[in-house]
Amino acid sequence: MKQTFLAILLFLAVVAAFPAATPALSMYDDDKTEINTSFGLQGWFSTADAKWQISFPYRTQTANSGISAGTPGKIESELNFKKIDSPIIVMTGGAKLAPLFSFDVVYGTGSISGGRGTDTDRFVPDQGSKLEFSKSTSENTGDVRMWGVNFYLNNRRFGDTKAGPWGAVFGFLHYEDDLTMKKGVQTVSETFDGSAVPPVGPFPATQVLDSTFDFIWNALKVGVTHQAVIKKDLLFDGMLSLYPYVRYTGEGYWNLRAGNNPRDFRRQFPNFTHRSTSGNGYEATLGLSYELSEHVQLSGGYRYFYLYANNGTDTVYFADGSTSESNLDWVTVTRHGAYAEVLFKF
C-alpha cells in the first residue's frame, strides 16, 4: 500500500495548489443552464507495465551450479511485460439522477502497438543464493479494453448548477490487457536438475512462439473529486479513487508447451489460468478544463492507474485431462499517460 499512500499525498499536494476560488455552493453563475446529460470522447495516450509471478515448493534432485542435491526451496516463474503502449479511445455518457446525484457509463478500447516481454525461471533455495536458469524475451502486441459505471455526489458535469468543489464517486471497473507474444529469444540457458533449457539465441524455426496471455480485472471503486475555478471558464479537475476490492483472472495459452503427450499442456485455450480475490489499487487524475461554451467543454491532463493482487492460484490443464496447481504470488498492472477530452453537455 506504499504506492497508494504516496498517490494520496501527491493528490492532496496538487489540490492544495488549486484551492477553490469560490464558495462551496457557488461553483457557477446562477444564470447558467442546468445540465442534465452529457457525452464525452477522450483519447488516453497511455503506456502500461504488467507482470506476475507463480511459485511452487521444490527440492533439487541433482547438484546444480552452486547448489547441492537435495536442497529445499522453491521454483519461481516471472512474466514481465513492459511498455505496453496503446492510445485508448474512451467514450462516456451520463445523466443527472437527482439534484447533486449523477452517473456515467464508460467504455474504452485500443490496440497495443508494441511491448517487450521477459520470461524468467529461477530456483530460490531456503538458504543461499538463487539460481536463474532460464530467461527469454518476446515482442508483444494485443488489445486493451475497459468499461465501467460511476455514481457521483456533487459532480459539476451533470449535477446542480451550484455544485460545490468537493464530491464523491463510487462504482465498478472492468479492465483487461490481451497480449500476444512472438519472436522469442533465449537470453539465459542453464541446465537445471538434468533438464536442458533451449540454447541462447532466437527460437528455432521449429519452435515459433505464438502464445497469448490475458490480464482480466474487476474492481469496486470509491473516491473523491475536486473541482476548483481558476478563473472564469477555466477549471482545475482532480479525482482520487481507491479500489478496495479487486478480483483478478489470468488466461494463458503457451503454444510451445501444448501437445498430445500426457504431460503436455492441452491444446484448447486456455491451457493455464490464474485466480485471485485478494487485491487493491488506486487511480489518480489531474487536469484542466476549459468551458468553450455552456454545452462544450475541453479537458486535458494526466491519469495514473494501478492494480495489484496476490495470494492466488495458478492452474495448469494437461493434455491427459489432469490439472496441477501452484501459488500465484502476485500480479500487478500500471497504466498511465496524458489524456485529452471533448465533453458535450445538454
Q: What is the DSSP string of 173-219?
A: EEEEEEEEEEEEEEEEE--BTTBPPPPSEEPPTTS--EEEEEEEEEE
E strand or H helix at 119: strand 114-125
Pick from 96, 98, 94: nearest CA to 36: 96
* pLDDT at residue number 114: 83
H-helix or E-strand spanning residue 167? strand 166-189
What are the beta bridge partners of residue 214? 178, 251
What are 128's three cell numbers? 543461499
| CATH code of 120's domain | 2.40.128.90
Q: Residue 227's domain spans which residues?
A: 2-345
3-state secondary structure at position 8: helix
Pairing label, strands 201-202, 210-231: unpaired
Write down the pLDDT at residue 195. Answer: 86
Confidence (pLDDT) at 59: 96
Q: How far apart are CA 189 and CA 137, in angstroms?
A: 12
Nearest Cα residue to 234 out of 188, 300, 158 = 300
pLDDT at 109: 98
Task: Return per-residue pLDDT of the chain as tens, 346 residues.
Answer: 555 555 565 555 555 555 544 443 344 444 556 678 999 999 999 999 999 999 999 999 999 988 999 999 999 999 999 999 999 999 999 999 988 899 999 999 999 988 999 999 999 999 989 999 999 999 999 999 999 999 999 877 665 556 678 999 999 999 999 999 999 999 999 999 988 888 999 999 989 999 999 999 999 999 999 988 898 889 999 999 999 999 999 999 999 999 999 999 999 999 999 999 999 999 999 999 998 988 899 999 999 999 999 999 999 999 999 999 999 999 999 999 999 999 998 8
Alpha carbon distance 48, 335 (integer Å): 4
Which residue, among 293, 297, 337, 247, has the nearest Cα to 92 in the 3D structure?
297
Please report, as a single letter, which amino acid is at residue 94: G
Q: What angle do CA 50, 58, 264 make, to 5 degrees?
A: 70
Is the whole model's pTM more than 0.85, yes or no? yes
Report the alpha-carbon distance of residue 291 to residue 280 in Å, rounded.
35
| Residue among 200, 205, 180 nearest 189 (CA) | 200
Give the Cα separation of 297 and 289 in Å (integer). 7
> Contact at 8 Å (CB) between 140 and 179?
yes
Encode burial over 215-243: b for 16+ CB neighbours within 10 A, e otherwise.
bbbbbebebbbbbbbeeeeebbbbbbbbb
Place of cell 536442458: 196
**Total domains, the chain:** 1
Torsion angle, alpha carbons of 307, 311, 312, 314, to 10: 110
